[in-house]
């Protein structure tokens, strides 16, 4: 029985150095170690001067946790049982977890290492006479042959040691330890052949400029594949940028401007780039990138306006540039001029890969336990080979009994994908469900610490965030922001909508601008409303707030205002309210008797409020207004 602990290893070290201490510790290997560390390449070098016969568990673990092993073959390397056992372990990691192995031949001939000849072979022969275990000796010889057959560096009497050290560090830095690499999915099943197919479409060796599309339904793995492709070729470009979730991040008055700034900042490697408008951003992209070979990924594009303002034409970029666009809309790619033969359609996982992905998530092994075999096959059919659904379902049922699996899959043949995702939600406790719905309706894209403070103020707890992460319902991404797949977000919002399809005032959460406008203007909110997020479009009417706009919502805990035009006086806020988060609040008066008894978080940057009445004082802390009870 094969148990998989990790399908995609996470590395503690970039490089593990295997060497014969008495030969190279104080010269070549010591200099290489210092050069690697200076370059920011985290390297493991065993400082133990005296070693026993057996390789230590700590050293085995260090090898397993390294992305690359550099083996420095020197004259006395093969005379050490410790070194040879290290080498066997390294070759085992190469086979099992695709560890990169790079040999360095320090004043020994590679053919002597391969064939165990010369002075190098004498050391092995002496060891062979000492240890009578023929199987072990053969294992050493095989490892030496395999490692010495790999491409590496040969440092003879006439080579400059510093030059070889420089070449090794440059190679590792450029080819294997690139700081621009992106975090891809934890379990990368069925990805490699897709990556190779897209690499063929990209043809990075050709010095033209062209765009490639990655097209498929939501949740099928377009972003994951694009990240893997990006990591595989990014080192071949002068500059690079992966703009994730363009559809979501382009929303708002300055959404596209912010994306243009990120694009320019990352490709040009400049800390600050000033973009005053979308039109100015277009000119800056054209002017500053037209002679630069760039790799640009526009992820989850949904309309032509996004493409026109970020990568309208190939001529905006230097020769050899590649632009990758992921989208659910094939027509969008064609309208943008992407050739049909350069559009890659992402298909569902086949039954074999789908079963493997579900198994490694649910059971930490490539095949399910025998008692779950039929259930996992049902689950694979149920999820239709969709990686997102497999991930959520596997995370939800991980560690569950056969009876739990059967209950979850009962009637699955007639359900849709959203029902698959809802299984994970249904398995949550009440308070975790509330935290999930808050995030789905209000907090996607917000910083984790900010969300935790607000949820805690509303009666939730920090550990529910970890529960949702474990269930694959949310993740924490770039700069600590909470991310949720849009299908999962949609599922959460559907749950809230179904609470009262015809009357938004009876729902627990309000976020859609038309519903918010209707509830506040018509004053139809009820005790069911728990939270409101006001984010009105630029062209919307002024939202006239009356004294009783919120007073009928006796269980309201949260008010978030992000955009819109307002008039009136905020009054009659319910005592249940815990959080007011209102940037650029234009109102000048907030009555002192309006401050609810339970209020614990007030975040109002750039507020105009100056009048609170007796008993309260307005204090400004870096642009954020806090209201202090005197």
Contact 468, 432 (CB under 8 A): yes
Contact 301, 247 (CB under 8 A): yes
Q: For residues 172, 174, 176 and 177, what is the CA-based torsion angle, rounded to 10 degrees?
A: 90
Residue carrying the six token digits 């060891």:
127
Query: φ, ψ for residue 322 (rounded to 5)?
Result: -135, 135
Closest CA to 153 of 116, 108, 122: 108
CA torsion sign, 142 to 143 to 144 to 148? positive
Non-local (6+) Cβ contacts of 592 within 8 A are 612, 613, 614, 615, 616
Instruction: Report the first-to-last Cα separation within the chain, whole angstroms.
Output: 69
Non-local (6+) Cβ contacts of 202 within 8 A are 212, 229, 233, 322, 324
Strand ranges, E, within 98-201 = 100-106, 153-155
Is residue 538 helix, strand or coil? coil
Contact 218, 486 (CB under 8 A): yes
Contact 605, 627 (CB under 8 A): no
Name the maximum alpha-carbon separation found in the chain.
Answer: 95
Half-sphere exposure of 564 (CA within 13 A, CB side): 22
Contact 461, 438 (CB under 8 A): no
Residue carrying the six token digits 């097209």:
215
Q: What's the length of the chain?
A: 630
Edge-to-edge order in the sheet of strand 210-215: 239-243, 294-301, 322-327, 210-215, 343-345
Contact 629, 607 (CB under 8 A): no
- Residue 560 in tokens: 């978030």
To the query of whether residue 356 is one of the catalytic residues in this protein, the response is no
Would you give the DSSP letter of residue 183?
P
Q: What is the CA radius of gyration of the chain?
A: 30
Residue carrying the six token digits 């979308």:
278
Is residue 543 helix, strand or coil? strand
- Residue 608 in tokens: 């105009």
**How far is the C-alpha of 392 from the C-alpha of 402, rounded, in Å?**
18
Q: Of 64, 86, 266, 489, which is the active-site residue?
A: 86
**How far is the C-alpha of 273 from the C-alpha of 276, rounded, in Å?**
10
**How far is the C-alpha of 553 from the C-alpha of 531, rounded, in Å?**
10
- Residue 159 in tokens: 């080579």
Closest CA to 127 of 85, 67, 71: 85
Contact 67, 181 (CB under 8 A): no
Residues belonging to the active site: 86
């Amino acid at each position: 029985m094969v148990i998989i602990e990790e399908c995609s290893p996470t590395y503690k070290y970039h490089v593990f150095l295997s060497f014969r201490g008495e030969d190279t510790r104080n010269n070549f290997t010591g200099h290489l170690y210092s050069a690697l560390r200076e370059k920011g390449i985290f390297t493991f070098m065993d400082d133990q001067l005296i070693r026993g016969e057996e390789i230590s568990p700590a050293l085995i673990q260090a090898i397993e946790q390294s992305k690359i092993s550099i083996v420095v073959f020197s004259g006395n390397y093969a005379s050490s049982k410790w070194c040879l056992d290290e080498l066997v372990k390294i070759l085992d990691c190469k086979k099992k977890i695709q560890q990169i192995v790079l040999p360095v031949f320090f004043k020994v001939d590679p053919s002597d290492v391969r064939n165990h000849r010369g002075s190098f072979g004498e050391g092995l022969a002496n060891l062979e006479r000492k240890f009578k275990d023929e199987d072990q000796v053969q294992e050493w010889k095989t490892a030496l042959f395999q490692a010495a057959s790999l491409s590496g560096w040969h440092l003879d009497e006439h080579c400059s040691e510093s030059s070889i050290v420089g070449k090794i560090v440059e190679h590792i830095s450029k080819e294997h330890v690139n700081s621009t690499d992106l975090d891809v999915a934890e379990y990368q099943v069925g990805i490699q052949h897709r990556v190779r197919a897209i690499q063929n479409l990209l043809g990075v060796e050709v010095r033209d400029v062209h765009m490639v599309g990655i097209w498929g339904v939501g949740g099928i793995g377009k972003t994951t594949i694009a990240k893997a492709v990006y990591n595989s070729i990014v080192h071949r470009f002068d500059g690079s940028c992966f703009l994730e979730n363009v559809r979501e991040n382009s929303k708002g008055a300055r959404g596209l401007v912010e994306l243009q700034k990120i694009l320019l900042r990352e490709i040009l490697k400049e800390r600050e780039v000033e973009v005053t408008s979308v039109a100015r951003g277009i000119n800056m992209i054209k002017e500053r990138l037209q002679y630069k070979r760039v790799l640009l990924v526009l992820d989850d594009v949904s309309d032509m306006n996004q493409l026109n303002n970020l990568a309208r034409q190939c001529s905006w970029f230097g020769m050899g540039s590649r632009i990758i666009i992921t989208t659910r809309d094939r027509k969008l790619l064609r309208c943008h001029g992407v050739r049909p033969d350069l559009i890659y359609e992402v298909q569902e996982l086949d039954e074999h890969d789908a079963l493997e992905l579900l198994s490694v998530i649910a059971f930490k092994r490539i095949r399910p336990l025998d008692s779950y075999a039929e259930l996992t096959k049902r689950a694979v059919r149920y999820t239709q080979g969709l990686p997102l659904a497999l991930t959520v379902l596997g995370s939800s049922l991980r560690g569950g009994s056969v009876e739990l699996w059967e209950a979850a899959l009962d009637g699955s043949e007639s359900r849709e994908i959203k029902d698959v995702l809802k299984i994970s939600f249904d398995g949550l406790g009440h308070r975790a469900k509330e935290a999930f719905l808050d995030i789905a309706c209000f907090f996607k894209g917000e910083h984790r610490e900010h969300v935790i403070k607000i949820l805690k103020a509303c009666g939730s707890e920090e550990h529910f965030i970890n529960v949702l992460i474990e269930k694959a319902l949310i993740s924490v991404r770039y700069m600590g922001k909470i991310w949720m797949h849009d299908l999962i977000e949609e599922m959460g919002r559907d749950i809230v909508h179904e609470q009262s399809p015809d009357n938004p005032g009876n729902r627990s959460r309000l976020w859609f601008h038309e519903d918010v406008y209707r509830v506040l203007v018509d004053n139809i909110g009820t005790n069911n409303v728990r939270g409101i997020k006001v984010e009105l479009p630029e062209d919307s009417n002024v939202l006239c707030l009356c004294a009783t706009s919120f007073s009928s919502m006796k269980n309201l805990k949260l008010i978030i205002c992000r955009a819109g035009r307002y008039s009136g006086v905020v009054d009659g806020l319910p005592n249940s309210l815990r959080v007011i988060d209102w940037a650029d609040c234009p109102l000048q008066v907030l009555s002192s008797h309006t401050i609810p008894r339970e209020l614990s978080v007030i975040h109002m940057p750039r507020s105009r409020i100056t009048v609170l009445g007796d008993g309260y004082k307005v204090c400004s802390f870096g642009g954020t207004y806090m209201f202090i009870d005197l």
